[in-house]
Structure 1
Protein backbone atom coordinates (compact mmCIF):
# COMPACT_ATOMS: atom_id res chain seq x y z
CA UNK A 1 0.00 0.00 0.00
CA UNK A 2 1.40 3.38 -1.03
CA UNK A 3 2.00 6.03 1.55
CA UNK A 4 0.09 9.27 1.01
CA UNK A 5 2.42 12.17 0.23
CA UNK A 6 3.39 14.16 3.27
CA UNK A 7 1.84 17.59 3.36
CA UNK A 8 4.18 20.41 2.47
CA UNK A 9 4.90 22.91 5.18
CA UNK A 10 2.66 25.94 4.93
CA UNK A 11 4.21 28.68 2.88
CA UNK A 12 4.50 32.03 4.59
CA UNK A 13 2.58 34.82 2.96
CA UNK A 14 2.61 38.59 2.96
CA UNK A 15 3.34 40.39 6.18
CA UNK A 16 4.41 37.20 7.98
CA UNK A 17 7.11 36.53 5.39
CA UNK A 18 8.21 40.18 5.35
CA UNK A 19 8.59 40.17 9.11
CA UNK A 20 10.69 36.99 9.00
CA UNK A 21 12.97 38.58 6.40
CA UNK A 22 13.28 41.78 8.46
CA UNK A 23 14.54 39.73 11.41
CA UNK A 24 17.35 38.28 9.29
CA UNK A 25 18.61 41.72 8.21
CA UNK A 26 21.46 43.21 10.13
CA UNK A 27 21.92 46.97 10.03
CA UNK A 28 24.97 48.43 8.36
CA UNK A 29 27.91 48.64 10.72
CA UNK A 30 29.57 51.98 11.34
CA UNK A 31 31.47 52.88 8.18
CA UNK A 32 30.30 49.78 6.27
CA UNK A 33 29.60 50.32 2.59
CA UNK A 34 28.40 47.25 0.69
CA UNK A 35 29.75 46.77 -2.85
CA UNK A 36 26.49 47.82 -4.61
CA UNK A 37 26.52 51.09 -2.65
CA UNK A 38 30.13 51.75 -3.67
CA UNK A 39 29.31 50.94 -7.32
CA UNK A 40 26.30 53.28 -7.24
CA UNK A 41 28.37 56.05 -5.66
CA UNK A 42 31.13 55.66 -8.25
CA UNK A 43 28.56 55.66 -11.06
CA UNK A 44 27.01 58.89 -9.78
CA UNK A 45 30.44 60.54 -9.43
CA UNK A 46 31.42 59.41 -12.93
CA UNK A 47 28.18 60.70 -14.46
CA UNK A 48 28.51 64.01 -12.64
CA UNK A 49 32.17 64.54 -13.53
CA UNK A 50 31.87 63.50 -17.19
CA UNK A 51 28.96 65.86 -17.70
CA UNK A 52 30.76 68.59 -15.76
CA UNK A 53 33.72 68.12 -18.11
CA UNK A 54 31.40 68.42 -21.12
CA UNK A 55 29.93 71.54 -19.59
CA UNK A 56 33.38 73.07 -19.00
CA UNK A 57 34.50 72.19 -22.54
CA UNK A 58 31.48 73.94 -24.00
CA UNK A 59 30.18 70.75 -25.60
CA UNK A 60 26.79 71.03 -23.95
CA UNK A 61 23.92 72.64 -25.81
CA UNK A 62 21.88 73.86 -22.84
CA UNK A 63 24.10 74.63 -19.89
CA UNK A 64 21.40 75.25 -17.24
CA UNK A 65 19.80 71.80 -17.12
CA UNK A 66 23.18 70.08 -17.48
CA UNK A 67 24.61 72.08 -14.57
CA UNK A 68 21.62 71.06 -12.42
CA UNK A 69 22.15 67.42 -13.44
CA UNK A 70 25.85 67.59 -12.50
CA UNK A 71 25.06 69.08 -9.09
CA UNK A 72 22.32 66.47 -8.57
CA UNK A 73 24.63 63.55 -9.41
CA UNK A 74 27.43 64.79 -7.18
CA UNK A 75 24.98 65.48 -4.33
CA UNK A 76 23.51 61.98 -4.72
CA UNK A 77 27.03 60.52 -4.67
CA UNK A 78 27.81 62.38 -1.45
CA UNK A 79 24.52 61.27 0.08
CA UNK A 80 25.06 57.64 -0.90
CA UNK A 81 28.62 57.71 0.45
CA UNK A 82 27.25 58.88 3.81
CA UNK A 83 24.56 56.15 3.55
CA UNK A 84 21.53 58.43 3.40
CA UNK A 85 18.34 56.52 2.66
CA UNK A 86 16.85 59.30 0.55
CA UNK A 87 19.93 59.56 -1.67
CA UNK A 88 19.98 55.82 -2.37
CA UNK A 89 16.25 55.85 -3.06
CA UNK A 90 16.56 58.83 -5.43
CA UNK A 91 19.38 57.10 -7.30
CA UNK A 92 17.22 54.00 -7.58
CA UNK A 93 14.51 56.14 -9.17
CA UNK A 94 17.02 57.33 -11.77
CA UNK A 95 18.05 53.71 -12.39
CA UNK A 96 14.40 52.74 -12.87
CA UNK A 97 14.00 55.58 -15.39
CA UNK A 98 17.07 54.30 -17.27
CA UNK A 99 15.64 50.77 -17.40
CA UNK A 100 12.24 52.02 -18.56
CA UNK A 101 13.94 54.14 -21.24
CA UNK A 102 15.92 51.13 -22.42
CA UNK A 103 12.77 49.03 -22.66
CA UNK A 104 10.97 51.73 -24.64
CA UNK A 105 13.92 52.13 -27.01
CA UNK A 106 13.99 48.36 -27.38
CA UNK A 107 10.57 48.56 -29.03
CA UNK A 108 12.09 50.66 -31.81
CA UNK A 109 15.47 48.92 -32.13
CA UNK A 110 16.27 48.17 -35.76
CA UNK A 111 19.87 46.96 -35.68
CA UNK A 112 22.25 44.96 -33.54
CA UNK A 113 23.89 48.16 -32.31
CA UNK A 114 20.47 49.44 -31.20
CA UNK A 115 19.89 46.20 -29.29
CA UNK A 116 23.26 46.46 -27.57
CA UNK A 117 22.56 50.05 -26.54
CA UNK A 118 19.14 49.04 -25.21
CA UNK A 119 20.54 46.15 -23.21
CA UNK A 120 23.23 48.51 -21.91
CA UNK A 121 20.43 50.71 -20.60
CA UNK A 122 18.52 47.77 -19.14
CA UNK A 123 20.92 45.21 -17.68
CA UNK A 124 23.53 47.17 -15.67
CA UNK A 125 21.04 49.66 -14.15
CA UNK A 126 18.57 46.84 -13.50
CA UNK A 127 21.22 44.78 -11.73
CA UNK A 128 22.30 47.76 -9.62
CA UNK A 129 18.68 48.60 -8.79
CA UNK A 130 18.10 45.02 -7.61
CA UNK A 131 21.25 44.97 -5.48
CA UNK A 132 20.44 48.32 -3.86
CA UNK A 133 17.13 46.99 -2.53
CA UNK A 134 18.88 45.02 0.22
CA UNK A 135 21.20 47.94 0.93
CA UNK A 136 18.15 50.16 1.47
CA UNK A 137 16.66 47.59 3.81
CA UNK A 138 19.90 47.39 5.78
CA UNK A 139 20.13 51.19 6.00
CA UNK A 140 16.59 51.23 7.40
CA UNK A 141 16.98 48.16 9.65
CA UNK A 142 16.53 48.95 13.33
CA UNK A 143 19.65 48.77 15.44
CA UNK A 144 19.86 46.69 18.57
CA UNK A 145 19.54 48.77 21.74
CA UNK A 146 22.94 49.95 22.88
CA UNK A 147 24.69 49.50 19.52
CA UNK A 148 23.82 52.89 18.02
CA UNK A 149 26.58 55.46 18.61
CA UNK A 150 23.88 58.13 18.97
CA UNK A 151 22.56 56.28 22.06
CA UNK A 152 25.85 56.82 23.88
CA UNK A 153 25.76 60.62 23.54
Structure 2
Protein backbone atom coordinates (compact mmCIF):
# COMPACT_ATOMS: atom_id res chain seq x y z
CA UNK A 1 0.00 0.00 0.00
CA UNK A 2 1.40 3.43 -0.89
CA UNK A 3 2.13 5.94 1.85
CA UNK A 4 -0.82 8.14 0.96
CA UNK A 5 -3.30 5.22 0.89
CA UNK A 6 -2.92 4.16 4.52
CA UNK A 7 -6.23 3.44 6.26
CA UNK A 8 -7.50 5.79 8.96
CA UNK A 9 -6.95 3.13 11.66
CA UNK A 10 -3.23 3.12 10.83
CA UNK A 11 -2.84 6.78 11.79
CA UNK A 12 -4.65 6.17 15.09
CA UNK A 13 -2.46 3.16 15.79
CA UNK A 14 0.74 5.07 15.01
CA UNK A 15 -0.38 7.92 17.28
CA UNK A 16 -0.88 5.44 20.14
CA UNK A 17 2.51 3.87 19.44
CA UNK A 18 4.22 7.26 19.51
CA UNK A 19 2.46 8.09 22.78
CA UNK A 20 3.68 4.87 24.40
CA UNK A 21 7.21 5.33 23.04
CA UNK A 22 7.31 8.81 24.56
CA UNK A 23 6.63 7.38 28.03
CA UNK A 24 9.45 4.81 27.83
CA UNK A 25 12.63 5.75 29.59
CA UNK A 26 15.76 3.83 28.59
CA UNK A 27 17.25 1.48 31.16
CA UNK A 28 20.18 2.91 33.06
CA UNK A 29 23.48 1.02 32.65
CA UNK A 30 23.12 -0.97 35.91
CA UNK A 31 19.34 -1.00 36.18
CA UNK A 32 17.62 -4.38 36.20
CA UNK A 33 13.83 -4.27 36.64
CA UNK A 34 12.13 -7.06 38.58
CA UNK A 35 10.76 -8.88 35.48
CA UNK A 36 14.29 -9.02 34.08
CA UNK A 37 15.64 -10.44 37.34
CA UNK A 38 12.84 -13.02 37.41
CA UNK A 39 13.65 -14.04 33.81
CA UNK A 40 17.33 -14.43 34.75
CA UNK A 41 16.34 -16.60 37.71
CA UNK A 42 14.01 -18.72 35.56
CA UNK A 43 16.77 -19.30 32.98
CA UNK A 44 19.26 -20.34 35.68
CA UNK A 45 16.74 -22.60 37.44
CA UNK A 46 15.69 -24.27 34.16
CA UNK A 47 19.34 -25.01 33.33
CA UNK A 48 20.10 -26.32 36.82
CA UNK A 49 16.98 -28.49 37.07
CA UNK A 50 17.59 -30.02 33.65
CA UNK A 51 21.23 -30.73 34.45
CA UNK A 52 20.42 -32.32 37.82
CA UNK A 53 17.57 -34.32 36.27
CA UNK A 54 19.88 -35.66 33.60
CA UNK A 55 22.53 -36.62 36.14
CA UNK A 56 19.95 -38.42 38.30
CA UNK A 57 18.21 -40.17 35.39
CA UNK A 58 19.91 -42.58 33.04
CA UNK A 59 17.49 -42.37 30.13
CA UNK A 60 17.91 -38.68 29.24
CA UNK A 61 20.50 -37.86 26.54
CA UNK A 62 23.37 -35.84 27.97
CA UNK A 63 24.17 -33.94 24.74
CA UNK A 64 20.70 -32.40 24.47
CA UNK A 65 20.77 -31.35 28.10
CA UNK A 66 24.19 -29.75 27.76
CA UNK A 67 23.02 -27.81 24.69
CA UNK A 68 19.91 -26.65 26.56
CA UNK A 69 21.99 -25.63 29.60
CA UNK A 70 24.40 -23.66 27.40
CA UNK A 71 21.48 -21.88 25.70
CA UNK A 72 19.90 -21.03 29.08
CA UNK A 73 23.29 -19.84 30.35
CA UNK A 74 23.66 -17.59 27.31
CA UNK A 75 20.12 -16.31 27.87
CA UNK A 76 20.86 -15.53 31.52
CA UNK A 77 24.10 -13.77 30.54
CA UNK A 78 22.36 -11.74 27.83
CA UNK A 79 19.47 -10.84 30.12
CA UNK A 80 21.90 -9.73 32.85
CA UNK A 81 23.69 -7.50 30.34
CA UNK A 82 20.39 -6.09 29.03
CA UNK A 83 20.68 -7.41 25.49
CA UNK A 84 17.60 -7.17 23.30
CA UNK A 85 18.39 -10.50 21.57
CA UNK A 86 18.30 -12.28 24.92
CA UNK A 87 14.96 -10.77 25.88
CA UNK A 88 13.52 -11.62 22.45
CA UNK A 89 14.80 -15.19 22.70
CA UNK A 90 13.39 -15.56 26.20
CA UNK A 91 10.05 -14.15 25.02
CA UNK A 92 10.05 -16.78 22.25
CA UNK A 93 10.71 -19.49 24.84
CA UNK A 94 7.87 -18.17 27.00
CA UNK A 95 5.59 -18.15 23.95
CA UNK A 96 6.40 -21.79 23.27
CA UNK A 97 5.78 -22.65 26.92
CA UNK A 98 2.43 -20.84 26.79
CA UNK A 99 1.40 -22.70 23.63
CA UNK A 100 2.32 -26.11 25.04
CA UNK A 101 0.68 -25.41 28.41
CA UNK A 102 -2.51 -24.25 26.70
CA UNK A 103 -2.59 -27.29 24.43
CA UNK A 104 -1.86 -29.54 27.43
CA UNK A 105 -5.13 -28.40 28.96
CA UNK A 106 -6.88 -30.36 26.19
CA UNK A 107 -5.44 -33.63 27.44
CA UNK A 108 -5.25 -32.94 31.17
CA UNK A 109 -6.72 -35.99 32.86
CA UNK A 110 -7.06 -34.77 36.45
CA UNK A 111 -7.43 -31.62 38.49
CA UNK A 112 -3.75 -31.48 39.43
CA UNK A 113 -2.75 -31.42 35.75
CA UNK A 114 -5.26 -28.67 35.03
CA UNK A 115 -4.02 -26.63 38.02
CA UNK A 116 -0.41 -27.07 36.89
CA UNK A 117 -1.21 -25.94 33.33
CA UNK A 118 -3.22 -22.94 34.54
CA UNK A 119 -0.42 -21.92 36.95
CA UNK A 120 2.15 -22.27 34.18
CA UNK A 121 0.02 -20.19 31.81
CA UNK A 122 -0.52 -17.50 34.46
CA UNK A 123 3.15 -17.30 35.41
CA UNK A 124 4.60 -17.45 31.90
CA UNK A 125 1.93 -15.09 30.54
CA UNK A 126 2.55 -12.50 33.24
CA UNK A 127 6.32 -12.65 32.76
CA UNK A 128 5.85 -12.41 28.98
CA UNK A 129 3.69 -9.32 29.36
CA UNK A 130 6.10 -7.61 31.77
CA UNK A 131 9.17 -8.40 29.66
CA UNK A 132 7.66 -6.65 26.62
CA UNK A 133 7.94 -3.29 28.41
CA UNK A 134 11.47 -4.13 29.55
CA UNK A 135 12.39 -4.90 25.94
CA UNK A 136 10.95 -1.55 24.90
CA UNK A 137 13.04 0.19 27.54
CA UNK A 138 16.16 -1.65 26.40
CA UNK A 139 15.54 -0.57 22.80
CA UNK A 140 14.44 2.98 23.70
CA UNK A 141 16.79 5.59 22.25
CA UNK A 142 18.67 7.70 24.80
CA UNK A 143 17.06 11.03 25.49
Flag whether TM exceeds 0.5 (same fold): yes
Task: Give 1:108 deviation, angstroms.
Answer: 1.5
Q: CA deviation at 1:60?
A: 5.1
Q: Offset of 1:53 from its aligned partner?
A: 2.1
* In structure 1, C-alpha distance between the alignment counterparts of 2:80 and 2:95, rounded to whole Å: 20
**What number of residue pairs does the alignment pair up?**
133
**1:42 has 2:41 as partner:** yes
CA separation in 1, counterparts of 2:42 and 2:58?
21
**TM-score for the superposition, normalised by structure 2:** 0.87
Partners in 2 of 1:25 and 1:76 — Cα distance?
24
Which residue matches 2:32? 33
Q: Which residue of the partner structure matches residue 64 of structure 2? A: 65
| Distance in structure 1 (CA, Å) of the matches to 2:106 and 2:56 | 34
- Where does the alignment leave 5 or more consecutive residues of structure 2 unmatched? 1-10
Say which structure is richer in helix. 2
SS of 2:90's partner is helix
- The Cα of 1:16 is off from its aligned counterpart by 0.9
Taking the TM superposition and a 5 Å limit, the aligned residue runs for 1:1-153 are: 13-59=12-58, 61-144=60-143
User: Shift of the alpha carbon at 1:54?
Assistant: 2.5
Which TM-score applies when normalising by structure 1? 0.82
Q: Check 1:107–1:58 CA distance in 2 against 1; reply closer, same or farther (3 A cut).
A: closer
Unaligned runs of 5+ in 1: 1-11, 145-153
CA contact (8 A) 1:85 1:140 kept: yes
Change (3 A) 1:60 1:50: farther
- 8 Å CA contact 1:95, 1:125 repeated in 2: yes
Q: Following TM superposition, by how much is the alpha carbon of 1:70 offset from its aligned partner in structure 2, in angstroms?
A: 0.7
Bigger radius of gyration among the two: 1
